[in-house]
C-alpha cells in the first residue's frame, strides 16, 4: 500500500503550487474585477510558493544564505512593483498583493519544513482575508469610537486577562479555578459582542439568529443572559432576541446528545427520544413565530445603532454565580454520593448541562450508576436549565421578549416531562 512518504518530496512541491494557485486565483480575479493590473496573478503566485519550497529543500546543501537571497530578491521585486504602481496611478496605493506574495513564499517554506497543514490553513485564511476586502472595509467604515472601545474591552477580557489566570484550583478544597471561572465571563461577553458584529454584517434578523445558533453550541444560558439584557436597552429588537434565545436553547438538546454519544452510546440512545422531541418542539415553535412575524416585520431603521453591546458587569455576575454553583455541585457529589445524583442534576442544571451530562456518562460507562438513573438525571438537568433560562428571560428581558420565549419554553418543558416519564418510568 502506498503512503504519502513514497512521493517525497514531490507531493510537497505539488502542495506548494496549489497553495500559490489558491491565493493567486483570488488576486487575479480581484484584478480583473477592479480592472487594476498588478504584478502577480495565479501563475506568479504559484511560482512564488514553489520558489519557497525549492529554497527550503536546498538549504541542507547551500545553507540559509540561499533563502536570504531568494527572499531578498522577492522583496526587491515587490518594492519595485509597488513604486511602479504608484507612478502609474499617481496616488498612494496599498501593499496587500506584495505582502500576500511574501506570505506565499513562506507558505512554500512551511510545506517543505514538515508544517504542511499549518501552511494550508494559513493560506486559506489569507485567501479569505483577501476575498472579503469589501465587507471588511465596509464594516470598519461604519464603526464609531464606541465600537473601537468595545472591541478593545473584549480583547482585554479574552486575550490579556484570561491567559494570565492560573488554570488550576487555588483553594485548599480544590474547587476554585480562576481560569475556568473567567472563561465563562469571556463566553458571556463574547456572545454579546459576536451578536453585535453579526448584526452589522448580516442585518438584525439573520445576524442575531446565527449568533443564537452558535451561542447555543457554546452555552445557551450565556446566550439567554446576553440577549435578554440587550432587549432592555433595545426593545425594538426584542423579537429578534427572543428568536435567538429559543434557537440557542433548542440547539442545546442535540449538543447534549452528541456529548453523551461520544462517552457512552447506550446512554445516548436512552435519552434520544426526550431530547429529540424537545428539539422538534423548539424548531416548530420558532417556525410558527417567525411565520407570523414575517408579514409585519419591518426593517431596522438606518439610524438605529447599538452603542454598547458588551456588558462586562452582566458577564462577571454570571461568572461569580457559576463559581457558586460549581462549589454546590462538588459538595453534593462529595457528601451524598450516588444518592445525590438527582440533587446534583437539579443544581447543575441551573447554569450548565454539559458538565453534569459528561459526568453521568462517565459514571454510566463505568457501571457506577444505573442507565435509567443517569438518563433521568440528564433530562432533569436539561429541564431545570430550560426553567432557569425562562426565569432569566422573564426577569431580564422586555415583555416583547418574554412572551415568545416563555411560550416556547413551556411547550418544550411539557414535551420533555411527558416523554421523560414515558421513557424512564412507564
| Residue that wins the pLDDT comparison between 268 and 142 | 268
The answer on pLDDT for 298 being more than 50 is: no
Stronger pLDDT, 408 or 190, i.e. the higher one:
408
Residues 356 and 234 both lie in one domain: yes
199, 207 contact by CB (below 8 A): yes
Torsion of CA 277, 281, 282, 285, to 10 degrees: 170
Unique residue bearing C-alpha cell 488554570: 167
Query: Do the domain assignments include residue 137?
Result: no
* 187 vs 315: CA distance, rounded Å: 8
Same domain, 80 and 148: no
Look at residue 196 and tell me if it is in a domain.
yes
Cα–chain-centroid distance for residue 215? 8
The region of weakest confidence among 87-96, 115-124, 264-273, 334-343 is: 87-96
Using DSSP, state whether 182 is helix, strand or coil: helix
Q: pLDDT > 70: what percent of the chain? A: 78
Report d(CA 309, CA 68) in Å as an integer. 47
- Smallest CA-to-CA distance from 350 within 381, 327, 328 is with 381
Digit-coded pLDDT (tens) for 35-94: 555 566 888 899 999 999 999 999 878 888 888 888 888 888 888 877 776 676 645 566
138 assigned to some structural domain: no
3-state class (DSSP) for residue 169: coil
pLDDT at 302: 36
Residues 305 and 394 in one domain: yes
Structural domain count of the chain: 2
How is residue 394 written as a grid cell? 422573564
Range of the structural domain that residue 420 is part of: 143-425
Same domain, yes or no, for 27 and 126?
A: yes
> Number of helices (H) and strands (E), helices first, in the chain?
18, 0
Give the end-to-end CA distance of the chain in Å, rounded to a whole number: 54
Q: Are residues 97 and 39 in contact, defined by beta-carbon separation less than 8 angstroms?
A: yes
Amino acid at each position: 500500500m502506498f503512503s504519502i512518504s513514497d512521493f517525497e518530496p514531490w507531493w510537497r512541491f505539488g502542495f506548494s503550487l496549489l497553495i500559490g494557485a489558491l491565493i493567486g486565483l483570488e488576486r487575479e480575479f480581484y484584478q480583473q474585477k477592479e480592472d487594476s493590473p498588478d504584478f502577480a496573478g495565479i501563475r506568479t503566485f504559484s511560482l512564488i510558493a514553489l520558489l519557497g519550497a525549492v529554497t527550503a529543500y536546498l538549504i541542507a546543501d547551500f545553507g540559509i544564505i540561499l533563502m536570504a537571497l531568494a527572499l531578498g530578491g522577492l522583496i526587491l521585486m515587490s518594492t519595485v512593483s509597488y513604486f511602479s504602481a504608484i507612478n502609474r496611478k499617481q496616488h498612494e496605493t496599498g501593499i496587500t498583493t506584495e505582502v500576500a506574495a511574501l506570505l506565499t513564499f513562506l507558505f512554500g517554506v512551511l510545506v517543505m519544513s514538515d508544517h504542511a497543514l499549518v501552511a494550508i490553513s494559513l493560506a486559506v485564511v489569507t485567501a479569505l482575508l483577501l476575498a472579503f476586502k469589501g465587507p471588511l472595509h465596509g464594516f470598519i467604515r461604519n464603526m464609531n469610537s464606541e465600537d473601537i472601545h468595545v472591541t478593545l474591552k473584549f480583547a482585554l477580557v479574552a486575550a490579556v486577562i484570561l491567559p494570565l489566570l492560573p488554570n488550576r484550583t487555588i483553594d485548599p478544597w480544590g474547587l476554585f479555578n480562576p481560569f475556568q471561572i473567567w472563561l465563562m465571563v469571556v463566553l458571556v461577553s463574547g456572545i454579546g459582542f459576536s451578536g453585535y458584529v453579526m448584526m452589522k454584517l448580516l442585518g438584525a434578523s439573520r445576524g442575531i439568529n446565527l449568533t443564537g445558533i452558535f451561542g447555543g453550541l457554546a452555552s445557551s444560558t450565556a446566550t439567554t443572559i446576553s440577549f435578554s439584557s440587550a432587549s432592555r436597552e433595545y426593545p425594538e429588537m426584542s423579537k429578534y432576541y427572543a428568536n435567538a434565545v429559543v434557537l440557542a436553547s433548542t440547539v442545546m438538546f442535540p449538543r447534549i446528545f452528541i456529548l453523551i454519544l461520544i462517552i457512552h452510546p447506550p446512554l445516548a440512545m436512552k435519552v434520544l427520544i426526550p431530547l429529540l422531541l424537545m428539539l422538534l418542539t423548539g424548531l416548530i415553535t420558532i417556525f410558527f413565530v417567525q411565520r407570523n412575524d414575517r408579514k409585519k416585520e419591518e426593517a431596522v431603521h438606518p439610524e438605529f445603532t447599538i452603542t454598547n453591546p458588551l456588558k462586562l458587569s452582566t458577564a462577571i455576575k454570571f461568572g461569580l454565580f457559576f463559581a457558586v454553583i460549581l462549589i454546590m455541585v462538588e459538595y453534593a457529589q462529595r457528601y451524598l454520593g450516588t444518592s445525590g445524583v438527582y440533587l446534583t442534576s437539579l443544581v447543575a442544571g441551573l447554569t450548565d448541562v454539559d458538565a453534569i451530562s459528561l459526568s453521568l456518562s462517565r459514571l454510566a460507562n463505568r457501571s457506577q450508576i444505573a442507565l435509567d438513573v443517569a438518563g433521568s438525571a440528564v433530562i432533569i438537568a436539561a429541564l431545570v436549565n430550560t426553567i432557569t433560562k425562562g426565569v432569566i428571560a422573564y426577569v431580564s428581558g422586555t415583555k416583547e421578549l418574554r412572551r415568545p420565549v416563555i411560550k416556547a419554553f413551556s411547550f418544550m418543558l411539557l414535551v420533555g416531562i411527558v416523554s421523560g416519564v414515558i421513557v424512564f418510568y412507564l
